[in-house]
Amino acid sequence: MGRTRKRSTRAKRVVAASVALVLGGGGLIAVNVYASAGEGRGDPPAGRATSLSTIDCPDVAEELSEVPQSVRGAVDRELATLDSQITVAYQRFADNKERAERDPEFAEQQILTPLENERRNILQRIGLLLEQPPLESLAPCTLRADDDAPQEGDDDAQDGEENDGDDGAAGNGPEASDFVDIQSVAPNVRTPRQLRGASRGTFTTDCGRNENGKFNPDNVIVAPGVRNGAHHMHDYVGNQANDAFASDEDLARGRTTCRNQGDRSTYYWPVLRLQNGRAEADAEADGGGKDQNVGEIQTPDEVTLEFVGSPVSKVTAMPRFLRIITGDAKAFTNGDANANASWSCTGFENRQLKDKYPICPEGSKVVRTFRFQSCWDGRNTDSANHRTHVAFADPASGRCGDGFRAIPQLVQRIVYDVPPGPGFAVDSFPEQLHKPVTDHGDFINVFDQRLMKRLVSCLNEGRRCS
């Protein structure tokens, strides 16, 4: 699909690594293509420049605990501008990476200081909207050392290799070290024991696999009214009215791909691309090639949307237009506090990966699983940071925290039939380098009252419904 272009040097290294990594049924052989995590930090060896990977900026949204509803849209638009500033600065860094590594003064003056000044202006505006002092301490950003820097003997460390003429858009990840053989992972899935009062039923809604190809790089939850607010492309199933400008009324009237027309909810997640050197139709578009997301978008082989109950109690209905985000699109730079990625392979789903992509054996398919928050504060359909109005149940006991009540938990399972080996990646913000830990899912509940009541009854009465 789309035109073909030559693969960048770094992309060729990933594909070459996949040849070395995949052996027989998916087993691994030792290959030292990149340094292990942790190497490359600290001072570089004498005579060598620090190898840098990305721009690391504080996530301002995570610091906002209270935003009045009257200014929430305006604040979200300012936050989206911060993201756009980082994207531009990241591209400036990527275009001048070698010089920035050799010359810290250049990096400071030409990349970091201009970005800090731009961020300071936005933070001042956010402070005015919130009628509080500006959040100026969050303005400075840093250049992050590369955890996977080339070592002596690596082809990129040798003199004389010429760039193949590619524009480098595929060169910002993932790395071969972001992949692991699923067969080398020990079973690690644990579930709380179900108690007498558990809601044991299930409710499955069939909304297709995005066969009609609805994509956009918006995110109406975190960046309402902002085109390309996500800087990566999303798959959408369910509600077809979802874009940056969709209101609750638009969603209520929107067409749905769900078989049961009482479910007009919107379910969306970053697309997965096969990085095979072929460009998609969005190669020159926002959210696509302009934001360092390249390769053929893969239509899922299977999408399962299932609601499950609580292992310890009955559940109550979700409020209409409840918004839930699970995972963190910026987990590579933010850390894993909100990360909730789960990667696996069919036949091995008792082994889940958080910060690695799986290499599946022949005949097995890649699986992404999102378990959404299952506890609600009983009042709000959204919150300032789009997180604190919902929460996860305690992983050991299965109980919701004080002030929260159990609601149906959405479990989203997405299966892909892709070639074995490190040749695929999810879309991401450019500076997040397509890391698997950044995977995330979004959901807005637009069930009608009658169907939501049936869903809750099915869970609480222990029935399997669809």
Rounded to 5°, angle at Cα 264 from 262 and 266: 150
- Residue 204's SS3 state is strand
Report the distance separating Cα 413 and Cα 407, nearest Å.
19
H/E run at residue 11: helix 9-21
Identify each DSSP E strand in 71-194 by its residue range.
142-145, 179-181
Residues paired with 54 in a beta bridge: 144
Instruction: Indicate if the pLDDT at residue 377 is higher than 50.
Output: yes
pLDDT value of residue 80:
97
Segment (H or E) for 333: helix 331-334
Which of 258, 280, 276 is CA-nearest to residue 267?
A: 258
Q: Considering only residues 208 and 165, tell me which one the structure prediction assigns the higher pLDDT.
A: 208
Q: How far apart are CA 420 and CA 366, in angstroms?
A: 9
pLDDT of amino acid 148? 56
Quote the CA–CA distance of 22 and 178 in Å, as a whole number.
14
Q: What's the length of the chain?
A: 466
Q: 201 near 460, Cβ under 8 Å?
A: yes
Strand pairing report for 142-145 and 464-465 = unpaired
Task: List the domain boundaries for the chain.
Answer: 35-149, 178-465
Higher per-residue confidence, 168 vs 194? 194
Residues 6 or more apart in contact with residue 174 via CB below 8 angstroms: 14, 357, 422, 425, 433, 434, 435, 436
Share of the chain above pLDDT 70, in %: 84
Q: pLDDT higher for 61 or 25?
A: 61
What pLDDT, on the 0 to 100 scale, is given for residue 15?
34
Q: State the pLDDT confidence band at 231, using cuts at 50, 70 and 90.
A: very high
DSSP state of 185: S
Return d(Cα 230, Cα 216) in angstroms, integer. 9
> What's the whole-number average pLDDT of the chain?
87
Answer yes or no: are the C-beta atoms of 221 and 382 closer than 8 Å.
yes
Joined together, the tokens standing for residue 444 give 């807005």
Residue with tokens 């607010």: 229
Amino acid at the residue 184: S
pLDDT at residue 283 above 70?
Answer: yes
Of 395, 246, 404, residue with least CA distance to 316: 404
Longest dimension (CA), the chain: 70
| Cβ-based neighbour number of residue 309 at 10 Å | 26
232: tokens are 């990566």
Q: Rounded to the nearest 5 degrees, what angle is found at the Cα of 151, between the Cα atoms of 149 and 156?
A: 80
Cβ atoms 421, 18 nearer than 8 A: yes
**Mean pLDDT of all residues in 425-437:** 98
Structure tokens belonging to residue 359: 């290499």
- Pair 355, 435: CB distance under 8 Å: yes
Asked if 52 contacts 97 with a C-beta cutoff of 8 angstroms, the reply is: yes
26 C-beta neighbours (distance < 10 Å), count: 21
Q: What is the pTM of this model?
A: 0.86
Contacts for 41-48 with beta carbons within 8 Å, 24 or more apart?
A: 41/145, 41/147, 42/145
Between these two residues, 244 and 9, which has the higher pLDDT value? 244
Q: How confident is the model at residue 251, as a pLDDT?
A: 98
Any alpha helices (H) in 407-447, and if so which ranges? none
User: What number of other Cβ atoms are within 10 A of residue 458's Cβ?
Assistant: 21
Predicted local distance difference test score (pLDDT) of residue 48 = 54
Query: Alpha-carbon distance 311 to 217, whole Å?
Result: 36
Tens digits of residue pLDDT in 121-176: 999 999 999 988 879 999 999 999 986 554 444 444 333 333 333 333 346 889 99
**Model confidence at 33: pLDDT above 70:** no
pLDDT(7) > 80: no
What token pair was written down for 275? 């990085």
